[in-house]
Structure 1
Amino acid sequence: MPFFNSLSPAQRRVLGWSALSLAALLLLWLLAPVLSPFVAATVLAYVLAPLVDRLARRLPRVLAVMLVELLMLLVAASLLLLLVPIVTKELPLLREQLPLLAGKLNDGLAPWLQRLGVPIAFDVPTIKAFVLEHFGDQAGNWLTTLLGSVRIGGSVLLALVGNLVLIPVVLFYLLLDWPQMMQRLWSLVPPSARARVGEFLGECDQLLGHYLRGQLLVMAALALFYTVALALAGFDLALPLGVFTGVAVFVPYVGFGLGLVLTLLAGVLQFGTLYPLLAVALVFGLGQMLESFVLTPRLIGERIGLSPLMVIFALLAFGHLLGFVGVLVALPLSAVALVALARLQRSYLQSGLYRG
């Protein structure tokens, strides 16, 4: 291969690592449905391994892994259970309040909009019939529909249940053998390249670890703030809404917007006045200022380089290409790409091409 022979050793290394990366992405794309539980367990193992290592200094590693995994399962179950009161309480309120709200809007807002040249009117009888049909006594038909969809898409349900069972099992063995696996992978790196590879992986680990730890602290602080603030504002669902909003901010802007909509809906259904609009605007405005000007700069920092827009783009792009697996590997691969681009930029600025 004349072209390959004409390259310098450094260019050959770059070409080889690029080909290896493309092959890995192609393999992920082809095997994404099968790899989902294994990739999810690997990402969780990377996050939880430091905690297991600390506990393993005082306890047998098997016991440390079991304690950490049990704690993770309890946290995940608690977060899922937070959605139950939101659904069970808002659906009956929605059935009762939505026709009344439509009538108030029709009597108060519609004439004002018509004076401004916007002809609009709410068909209150149709809205009431729709609500009674879908949220009334016939709501039990949802169970029949759900069971029918389960029979139709049984393979999807079985795959979901299988993944939920498989992920903890794979995670247990990954955490149990994590030091040995890292040592075996490190032994595959050529001795001549270990210094450079170690430095590169160290930068990636520091970048991603700092981001994840900082983001977890931001989520915990915001969950506490929103819970306390909504409770002081008189919201009945302050705890589930506050914790859900704090956790959802992991996806920048989208999580905040979803928490805002759910809280606004809960407030309107609970109070039936304009008070929740003012309360939600004040609470979420203060929360956004707290996140943007205090928590994120102090706990994550601008030097990380993973801006909110970059996080959203990475999640959407990798999710589109690789599905659920792409969402799981979006941040790790983004951190690797960011470190690689920073190194390429430093090499370019120090090269003769830049100096002319």
Structure 2
Amino acid sequence: MTDSHRWLWLAGLLLAGWLVYQLTPILSPFLVGILLAYLGDPLVDRLERWMSRTWGVVVVFTLFGLLLLVALLVLLPMLGKQMVHLYQLAPQILDWLQQRALPWLQVRFGLSESFWQIGHLKALFTEHLGQTTDIASQLLSRATASSLALLGWLGNLLLVPVVSFYLLRDWDILVAKLRALLPRRQEGLVVKLVSECHEVLGAFLRGQLLVMLALGAVYALGLMLVGLDLGLLIGVLAGLASIVPYMGFVVGIGAALVAALFQFGGDLYPLFGVAAVFTVGQLLEGMLLTPLLVGDRIGLHPVAVIFAVLAGGQLFGFTGVLLALPVAAVIMVLLRHVNELYKLSDLYGKDSPTG
């Protein structure tokens, strides 16, 4: 590649980054549509064995719609009730922390009495506790105060299924046309790099997201069977946190043990039940879910996932969060090839001079 070509590629990358930054306010529905189309493409490809691709897309959309309807009608109201219940219990939890848990820690670790500022948190929750029933009216008044913003948000929400439907229907055609535009000399290398990026993203997005959903269901059902009042909420949060391996276990068991101590006091059986639920979840993840859904494909490192999501959100907001994992996968694949080229170069293989 000549110097002029290198500068041309660099200018193209800078222009693409500038365009992404300028179009950030309108990119979100298109990125969500692309993500849904990418996730649904393998299922539609399998359905093409028995029906046309358009009908396969209709079947997949119907399935997604039913799942979304179940979540809206069943899961969200239950989660809303538990969140309101948690908010109402917050002063009592702070009292329990101040009168029982924290004194034990102070005696155990020799901390001063002024180390914890629980009183300020309790006063804050108590002051705003009476406003919980007025949350809906406050949200509605803020939304209607800016009708244009509300219409824009609704428009973006309705745009997502439209974009994902057409992209999913024409996915193979678009991929073929993009491949036809590649320079003939570099087609093999570009296809290889894209295939590795697809493998990484597929292993993480399709595999790890299914693991996340399965663990969320296991944790939520198990904690509800134990009798934990906030079992559904903690189980769902633990499942969402499982998008980063092992984080869901740490977050979930910590929150569940605190909730069990507050609800059941010193009774050991609920604590053993909580520990059993998360132990079963980890065994299922390690022995069944991860080998079955993710396999031995190389995914993104947990630290890379955390950094990519935080960096994307800091730079580009919600659009950056959506772009974080694909960009991280591309960078990871490119760094892997740069490492291979470096090890094949004279710089790596040349012997050090002897004195």
State the one-letter code of the partner of 2:211.
V
Q: In the alignment, is residue 53 of structure 1 matched against residue 45 of structure 2?
A: yes
CA contact 2:223–2:231 (8 Å) conserved in 1? yes
- 1:310, CA displacement in angstroms? 0.4
What's 2:353 paired with?
A: none
User: 1 CA distance for matches of 2:200 and 2:119?
Assistant: 57
Q: Matches of 1:197 and 1:87 in 2, distance apart?
A: 47
- What is the letter of the counterpart of residue 78 of structure 2? P
* Residue 66 of structure 1, aligned match among 42, 58, 61: 58
Change (3 A) 1:108 1:221: closer
Is the 8 Å Cα contact of residues 55 and 64 (structure 1) preserved in structure 2? Answer: yes
Change in CA separation of 1:68 and 1:117 when aligned onto 2, cut-off 3 Å: closer
- In 2, are the aligned partners of 1:38 and 1:167 still within 8 Å (CA)? yes
Pick the aligned partner of 2:218 from 217, 222, 225: 225
- Mapped pair 1:234 → 2:234: no
Alignment of 1:263-302 (within 5 A): 263=256, 267=260, 270-271=263-264, 279-280=273-274, 283-284=277-278, 287=281, 291=285, 296=290, 300=294
Q: Deviations over 1:192-238 (max 9, x none)?
A: 22122222211211222122233134224423431343244222554
Check whether the contact 1:226–1:245 (CA below 8 A) recurs between aligned residues. Answer: yes
* Counterpart AA for 2:56: A
Aligned to 1:3: none
Q: Which residue of 2 aligns with 1:355?
A: 349
Q: How does 1:64-143 map to 2 (within 5 A)?
A: 64-79=56-71, 82-92=75-85, 95=88, 97-98=89-90, 100-101=92-93, 107-108=99-100, 116=110, 118-119=112-113, 134-136=128-130, 139-143=132-136
Match of 2:151 in 1: 158
Structure 2 residue aligned with 1:246: 239
- AA aligned opposite 1:157: L
TM-score (ref. length: structure 1): 0.79
What is the RMSD computed on CA atoms of the aligned residues?
3.7
* Aligned-residue offset at 1:18: 4.3
Residue 323 of structure 1 aligns to a residue whose secondary structure is: helix
Q: SS of the residue aligned with 1:250?
A: coil
Code of the residue aligned with 1:53 in structure 2: it is D
- 1:33, distance to aligned residue in structure 2 (A): 0.9
- Report the counterpart of residue 325 of structure 1 in structure 2: 319
**1:21 corresponds to:** 13
- Letter of the structure 1 residue corresponding to residue 43 of structure 2: L
Is 1:306 aligned with 2:267?
no
Provide the rounded CA distance (Å) in 1 between the counterparts of 2:146 and 2:256: 33
Letter in 1 for 2:14: L
Asked whether the 8 Å contact 2:84–2:132 carries over to 1, the reply is no
What is residue 341 of structure 1 aligned with on the other side? 335
Moved more, 251-260 or 239-248: 251-260
The C-alpha deviation readout for 1:288-341, integer Å capped at 9, x for no partner, is 576578855775478625110000111111222222121112111211111111
Gaps of 5+ in 1: 1-7
Deviates more, 1:59-68 or 1:279-288: 279-288
> Are the counterparts in 2 of residues 92 and 135 from structure 1 also a CA contact under 8 Å?
no
Corresponding residue SS for 1:192: coil
Q: Which letter does structure 2 place at the counterpart of 1:202?
A: S
Q: Report the AA paired with residue 49 of structure 1.
A: D
| Structure 2 equivalent of residue 34 of structure 1 | 26
| Separation of aligned partners in 1, 2:272 and 2:156 | 43
> Offset at 1:162?
1.6
Question: Matched residues in 1 for 2:117 and 2:203: separation?
Answer: 53
Amino acid at match of 1:204: C
Deviates more, 1:276-285 or 1:192-201: 276-285
- String of CA shifts for 1:100-121, please: whole Å, max 9, x gaps: 5555555545766776562259
Q: Do the aligned partners of 2:199 and 2:297 also contact (CA within 8 Å) in 1?
A: no
Structure 2: distance between partners of 1:246 and 1:169: 29
- Give matches, 1:194-233, under 5 Å: 194-233=187-226
TM-superposed deviation, 1:179: 1.7
**SS where residue 191 of structure 1 aligns?**
coil
CA contact (8 A) 1:211 1:300 kept: yes
Aligned partners of 2:102, 2:195: CA distance in 1, in Å? 61
Structure-2 change in CA distance of 1:74 and 1:134 (3 Å): farther
Aligned pairs for 1:182-201 within 5 A: 182-201=175-194
Identity over the aligned pairs, expressed in percent? Answer: 41
What SS class does the counterpart of residue 113 from structure 2 fall into? coil
Partner of 2:185, secondary structure, is: helix
Q: 1:219 to 1:211 in 2, by over 3 A?
A: same
Deviates more, 1:78-87 or 1:258-267: 258-267
Q: Per-residue CA shift, 1:77-113, capped at 9, x if unaligned?
A: 5445534323314534653x55555555555457667
Alpha carbons of 1:269 and 1:86: their partners in 2 closer, same or farther (altered >3 Å)?
A: farther
